[in-house]
Structure 1
């Protein structure tokens, strides 16, 4: 039996401390080896909380011989550099979404990983939740007839203006932070052969750096199934999708970030009325980690075409977005950065 994968974490970002690191505690297939931060005190706080080594500086963690793989929860604009450096150091990589803010960079990193025989995965966790497999099963059994359309929404209330989501140089904005979820769920149910028909982005200004704060997109499959996607940093919390078919529809709430103890509900509506299906809780965080670790054990280092296709669709949404007020600034490649205020994300 292969020994536990020794994992290092590049930063003590909120998502790492709140969701990923707690999920590691009871897994026999992984051991947290070290956490790195630019702030020595922060590294020590996180390391003490989770029983691992504290490292000052990301490069120092990559130099460690007791680290087999790294988790990268840095801001998106920093992913390309640190994923590339991790791969060059011979580490498998689990990177938070989006993998990068550039299709070119995403494709290059997948090839770099494959050339080194390393696993690279983008950490969209929700596809690993059992509720979506249950929806697939309902569709495959013909419960709602032929699929006609999909509508997906992911919006959250505004954050503090200093939040990294509002800093373009760090890859901020609603499309990168939230828009990828509706895109990914469209790919999950409709396949990746999608065309972006229309898109719009609305910008705001925070910390003197305008980024998109909300948007929408319409995608289409080759046989005419439409996907209507909405995302935003300036609305009520909504995390849902609806799949409409020729004989009924399926609705899922708490679709993208359900806690591990949440019993998911699926509502199936047909001409005779609605039926609510309550499923057992499932841990998408643990499942996503398990999939990454399983890929390492099995040596599954083939280039992940799904990561690249996801980046292509997100970039196409930005390219097709209607002119916004004020104008949306392209983030295809982040500018060589002017000084920005970045509270070490974790």
Structure 2
């Protein structure tokens, strides 16, 4: 049996405490050995709850020779600095999305990981849920005819004042938080040869960051992706693939609970059919995929660099009012 990857966690963010650490403790593929935090009390509390040791600073954890990989759930503005520091310290990295907020820096970090024979893995978890492969199989088998377009939406309710998602100094805003998901869905189903046709970002009265956005993408074959995302909305997590003779719809597409049984809805001229799938924990699946990458030396960034380029294009287009 392969030994679990010895994992350290840089930061005590909500996603780490609520989702990643509990899943990591359950997982046979990783072993949580340390947690680091700027707040000593919070670091100690988090470490005790998950049976590992605490560090009261990120450099101290990176210097621990027993830590072979780190998970970085820090605010987006800090991702580049600490992802790079972890790679420089010889650690594999499971990075919260986005890896950085600039495509050239994302590409540079992947180049650094390759040079150091390390794995840099962006934590976009939904792609590891088998519900998306079930949708892909329907499209591949011609269930909706020729694929024409994708519509994807991921929006969440407003967080309390002071939340990192609402702070510009920490890289807040809907593009980096919820916008990643529909952009990645477009890449997942339509491939890398997409371009941004138009984009829009907005913020409400008193907001310091963008809280709503939309984008239109297309490829050379005329297929389109209509994307929407936001931080001040009712919860929506859905995509729809439309073809020449029907469509397939998936709700709870991006952040399904571990016990959720997905329902894929297929609509064609022959009628409507619902396909119920088994529940699956995409957090544990992500950890397993990361551990396999570490053990087998798989460091291919896949669509992450192209995703970073598209996010940059969306941001640029929106700022120009296009």
TM above 0.5, yes or no, is: yes
Q: Is the 8 Å Cα contact of residues 97 and 122 (structure 2) preserved in structure 1?
A: yes
CA distance in 2, matches of 1:134, 1:305: 20
- 1:313 corresponding residue in structure 2: 310
Cα 1:107/1:63, change in 2 over 3 Å? same
Query: 1:156, 1:235 within 8 Å by CA — same for their partners in 2?
Result: yes
Task: Summarize deviations over 1:246-288 as a string: whole Å, max 9, x none.
Answer: 1100000000000111000111001132111110001111111
CA RMSD between the two structures: 1.2
Q: Which runs of 5+ in 1 are unaligned?
A: 325-346
The answer to whether the 8 A contact 2:267-2:273 is kept is yes
Residue 16 of structure 2 aligns with which residue? Answer: 16
Q: Matched residues in 2 for 1:39 and 1:234: separation?
A: 29
* CA offset digits 1:13-64 (Å, max 9, x no partner): 1111111111112322211110000111101111111000011001110010
Of residues 261-270 and 209-218 in structure 1, the stretch that sits farther from structure 2 once superposed is 209-218
Q: Name the residue aligned to 1:70.
A: 70
Within-5 A mapping of 1:92-103: 92-103=92-103
The aligned residue for residue 262 of structure 2 is: 264
**Deviation for aligned residue 1:300:** 1.6
Given that 2:86 and 2:93 are in contact with CA atoms closer than 8 Å, whether structure 1 keeps it comes out as yes
Give the conservation status (yes or no) of the 8 Å contact 1:5–1:69.
yes
The 2-side partners of 1:86 and 1:173 are apart by 25
Give the corresponding residue for 1:221: 219
| CA drift at 1:169 | 1.7
* Cα distance in 1 between the residues matched to 2:91 and 2:262: 35
Q: How many Å apart are 1:97 and its aligned residue? A: 0.6
CA distance in 1, matches of 2:158, 2:22: 26
Question: Which whole-Å CA distance do the structure 1 matches of 2:277 and 2:2 have between them?
Answer: 33
Structure 2 CA distance for partners of 1:12 and 1:241, relative to 1, 3 Å: same
2:29 touches 2:287 (CA, 8 Å); kept in 1?
A: no
Distance 1:290 1:4 in 2: 10
Q: 2:248 maps to what in 1? A: 250
What is aligned with 1:154? 154
The alpha carbon displacement at 1:74 in A equals 0.1
State the Cα distance separating 1:191 from its structure 2 match: 0.4
Paired position in structure 1 for 2:185: 185
Contact 1:37 1:55 in 2 (8 A): yes
Residue matched to 2:289: 291
Task: Give the TM-score, by structure 2 length.
Answer: 0.97
Where in structure 2 are the equivalents of 1:138-153 lying within 5 Å? Answer: 138-153=138-153
Deviates more, 1:32-41 or 1:22-31: 22-31
Count of residues in Structure 1 that have an aligned counterpart in Structure 2:
321
Give the 3-state SS of the residue equivalent to 1:152 in structure 2: strand
Distance 1:156 1:28 in 2: 32
- Mapped partners of 2:37, 2:315: distance in 1: 32
Partner of 2:54: 54
Structure 2 residue matching 1:196: 3-state secondary structure = strand
Alpha-carbon shift at residue 12 of structure 1 (Å): 1.2
CA shift, 1:234, in A, is: 1.3
Contact 1:213 1:234 survives alignment (8 Å): yes
**Structure 2: 5+ residue stretches without partners:** none
Q: What is the alpha-carbon distance in structure 1 between the residues aligned to residue 83 and residue 115 of structure 2? A: 14
SS in 2 for 1:321: helix
Alignment partner, residue 107 of structure 1: 107
Distance 1:171 1:192 in 2: 25
Aligned-partner Cα distance in 1 for 2:87–2:259? 35
Which residue of the other structure, out of 214, 235, 238, is the alignment partner of 2:236?
238
Higher RCO (CA < 8 A, seq sep 6+)? 1
Paired with 2:149 and 2:24, the residues of 1 have a C-alpha distance of 38
